[in-house]
Amino acid sequence: MLVVESLSRSFGSLKAVDEIGFQVKPGEIYGLLGPNGAGKTTTISCVCGLLRPDRGTIELDGVALESDPIAFKRRLGVVPQETALYGDLSARENLHFWGGLAGLTGGALRDRTTAVLEAVGLTERAGDAVRKYSGGMKRRLNLAIGMIHEPKLLLLDEPTVGIDIQARLNILDVVREVVRAGTIVLYTTHYLEEAQELCDRIGIMDHGRILAEGSLTELKRMVGEGEILTLKGRFEPGELQSIVAEDEHVRVVSLEEGQAVLDVGKGQGEVTGVLGRILRKGLAVDDISIQQPNLQGVFLKLTGRELRD
């Protein structure tokens, strides 16, 4: 089990990670979601040992990163957002290099290379120079490198960014297979639909703190079943605030000049009713969107921002 407790990390006066904690069991995928600047990358960097936290503990199967970093990292596989590949080497040569660094030799290294190449669908192109690979193939090889030594914990940082849908689906299938074998997966992504389909539990992070965590069902229960109404236009915060102030069905999630995010009660027709009252008051609204109570809606309710903001 991965156990993170009271983790904090600051950069000068900026507290990037602020007393967070979570646990991930073997055979479980934990998604860490948050807008840009939420603290996800700093958290991942601390968990894999690239950054030393100011305080807190990180343990994997009872092995503490701080007290025994070598033993901890032997149990760890990392798939970074930026691919770590040697373009002039073949896929097999890349895997032999990285597998050797992880301690594999001889027949064990050859067997694992064959196994992961097959798992990510690169067997037929294993001898080609990686510089000839497509973006999706490089992503798949990047994943194969992270799992060649059969780690207990696999950190996946945006593993499907910038690739086509077929390559993305292939990577997600590989991740599911790895998890079925009992691996712990800590996963970050900007694709909410991906997290919704893949992750067993999700931690939603913003301003260095985990605002809520649980399964999708649990998260939706925490924030209620109301829909999210987002308005953009030429209006001042006070104008909208005065319109909705006495409406018991509306909670203001975020409000700034020209943009508002409202959590509207779950009763049938309440969103259209609230929207009608706002427009009848003459508010200068140029763009309207309504989010159903899915992961995107949960995220907006908790952070007041889109995932990519």
In CATH, what number is assigned to the domain containing residue 287? 3.30.70.1150
Q: Among candidates 211, 100, 101, 79, which has minimal Cα distance to 157?
A: 79
- Select from 151, 197, 213, 182 the least CA-distant residue to 22: 213
Residues 232 and 256 in one domain: yes
User: What digits encode the pLDDT tens for the residues 62-94?
Assistant: 999 999 999 999 999 999 988 889 999 999 999
Kindly indicate the confidence band of residue 154, based on its pLDDT and cuts at 50, 70 and 90: very high
Res 269: pLDDT: 64
- Asked if 127 and 183 sit in the same domain, the reply is yes
* pLDDT at residue 250, as a whole number: 86
203: left (phi over 0), alpha (psi -120 to 50) or beta: beta
In a domain, 305, yes or no: no
Residues 133 and 9 in one domain: yes
User: Residue 307 domain-assigned?
Assistant: no
> Are 43 and 186 in a shared domain?
yes
What whole-number distance in Å separates Cα of residue 96 and Cα of residue 104? 8
Pick 162 or 136 by higher pLDDT.
Answer: 136
Are residue 64 and residue 144 in the same domain, yes or no?
yes
- HSE-CB at 121 with a 13 A cutoff on CA atoms is 15
How many structural domains comprise the chain? 2
pLDDT of residue 268: 53
Q: Return d(Cα 5, Cα 7) in angstroms, integer.
A: 6
Per the model's pLDDT, the better-predicted residue between 308 and 15 turns out to be: 15
Question: Residue 306 falls within a domain, yes or no?
Answer: no
Contact 283, 289 (CB under 8 A): no
In a domain, 104, yes or no: yes
Kindly report the pTM of this predicted structure. Answer: 0.79
* Same domain flag for 135 and 260: no
Which is more confident, 301 or 242?
Answer: 242
| Distance of alpha carbon 230 from alpha carbon 79, whole angstroms | 35
Range of the domain at 267: 225-292
Q: Are 274 and 244 in contact (CB under 8 A)?
A: yes
